[in-house]
Structure 1
Amino acid sequence: MRLRSLLFVPGDSERKFAKASGVGADVLILDLEDSVAPSQKERARAQVAELLDDRAARDWAFFVRTNPFDTGLTLDDLAAVVKPGLDGLLIPKVDGAQDIVRIGHYLDALEAKAGMPVGTVKIAVVATETPAAMFALGSYAPAHPRLVGLTWGAEDLAAAIGATDNKEADGAWTRPYQQARSMCLYAAASAGVAPIDTLYADFRNPEGLEQSCREARRDGFTGRIAIHPDQVATINHCFSPSEAEVAMARRIVDAFAAAPDAGTLGIDGKMYDIPHLKAARRTLAAIGEAA
């Protein structure tokens, strides 16, 4: 499952779903939470369940963002959408790995009821939306068998801690949110799951999105949330290795394969060691190529 571009789609808008399904996102996240008004929750849930029944071939993974536990709506969401066709869930406002264990138990029962192999539905979480969550980021390792990715969010965290803003005048994150972003990256790496950067809100600023995505990939993120279909192509491009990177990765892997006892070797006058080999293998894995 590739988690490079993950596009939010309001669960109550069939029109937006129809547009989103053709833009090339790796994952569509049908949203039952923030983009759906309280009066439309039940309708959105039923509509998403109906969309899951469409067995037409698709080249993207079908995820659903449920409502968080404190709303009392989570179990109703799960009961409606855990059925064949569902690939994963995005769980918001988690406080730590104990919430993933809880969701996992629900999924075990619901998958069995739906006739699905246990473990079919994967889980990604928004890991920084509550103050308690910030103290539990280390709890995701070792990873739950269903866990595939961690992402972070700033808006709900800002509201929870009483911040008046989360951005500097130049648009950069203020220090608390820089810390949340970094800790999410470390937590994902520790758990061995995909680190997914948060959304870029200014969807009319493609240049800003591209710069932000390049910085995110530089730092170690492997994918990003999108909030508008127009953002998907930029995200896919920025989080895909270039031809030059792939070619260099192959050379590094081949060089170490030819010298299996070497810890360090030279290529074109530059020294490469085991961390470079690991990075090269990740680059090839990103394009589905076994090292």
Structure 2
Amino acid sequence: MRLRSLLFVPGDSERKFAKARTTGADALILDLEDSVAPPQKPRAREHVATLLRDQASRAWSFFVRVNALDSGLTLDDLAAVVQPGLDGLLIPKANGAEDIARFGHYLDALEATAGMAAGSVKLAVVTTETPRAMFNLGSYAPAHPRLVMLTWGAEDLAAAIGATDNRESDGAWTEPYRFVRTQCLFAASAAEVTPIDTIHADFRDAEGLERECRRSRRDGFLGRMAIHPDQVAIINRCYTPSDAEIAHARRIVEAFAADPGAATIGLDGKMIDIPHLKAACKVLASI
């Protein structure tokens, strides 16, 4: 499952879904949570269930963001959307691995009822939306068998802790949110799942999005959430290794393959060791 770009789509909007499916996003996240007003949630749930029943071929993964466990809406969401065609769930406001285990138990039963193969529905988690969650980031390792991705969010956390803003005047994250971002990256790495960076809220700021994506990939994130179709192409470009990067990674792998007993090799006048080999393998695995 390739996850560079994951585009949110309100679950109650046929128009936005029709546009989103042509953007080239690796995954669409049909949203039943924050982008749907409470009175519209039953309608959104049924709309998403109808979309899932369309078995036409698609080039993207179908995710659904359900409502949080403390909302009283989660089981109704799951009952509607766990059916053939669903690739994954995005879990909001998770407090740690115990929540993921709970979703796993629900899915075990619902997949069986729907006639789906056990483990079909994967889990992606927003890990940083509650203060409690920040003390449980290490709990995701070792990863639950369904877990494929960890990401982070700033807005719900800011509201929870009473922050008046989470950005500096120049647009940079304030210190608490730089810490949150870093901890999510380490948690995903420890769990050996894909680390995905958070949204860039100003969807008109293409230059700022590209700058943030390049920094993000430099730091180790492998993809990004999107809130507007225009963001997808930028995200895909920034998180896709260049031809030069791929060629260099292949040369490293080939050099070590030619000398299996070596811990270091010389390449282009530089010493290359095992961490370089691991990084090269990750580059090749992402294409």
Matched, 1:253 2:261: no
Letter in 1 for 2:73: L
- Give the distance between the partners of 1:9 and 1:266, measured in 2 at CA: 48
| 1:54 matched residue in structure 2 | 54
Q: Please give the secondary structure, in 1, of the residue aligned with 2:89.
A: strand
Give me the CA root mean square deviation: 0.3
Overall identity of the aligned pairs, in %: 74
| Residue in structure 2 matched with residue 110 of structure 1 by the alignment | 110
In 2: Cα distance, 1:71 partner to 1:133 partner: 17
Query: Amino acid of the residue matched to residue 82 of structure 1?
Result: V
**Distance apart, 1:70 and its partner CA:** 1.2
Cα distance in 2, alignment partners of residues 173 and 205 from structure 1: 16
User: What residue is the counterpart of 1:3 in the other structure?
Assistant: 3
- Give the TM-score of the pair, scaled to structure 2: 1.00
Q: Does the alignment pair 1:212 with 2:191?
A: no
Q: Quote the Cα distance in structure 2 between the aligned partners of 1:12 and 1:249.
A: 44
Paired amino acid for 1:96: G
The 5 A counterparts of 1:80-159 are 80-159=80-159
Residue 19 of structure 1 aligns with which residue? Answer: 19
- Flag structure 1 segments of 5+ consecutive residues without an equivalent: none
AA at the equivalent of 1:92: P
Partner of 1:243: 243
2:62 aligned with 1:72, yes or no? no
**What CA distance in whole angstroms lies between the structure 2 residues aligned with 1:162 and 1:182?**
21
1:179 alignment partner in structure 2 = 179
| TM superposition outliers: structure 1 runs of 4+ over 4 Å | none
Q: Secondary structure at the match of 1:225?
A: strand
- The aligned residue for residue 278 of structure 2 is 278
Unaligned runs of 5+ in 2: none
Q: CA deviation at 1:239?
A: 0.1
Question: 1:265 is matched with which residue?
Answer: 265
Secondary structure at 1:280 match in 2: helix
* Matched residue type, 1:173: W
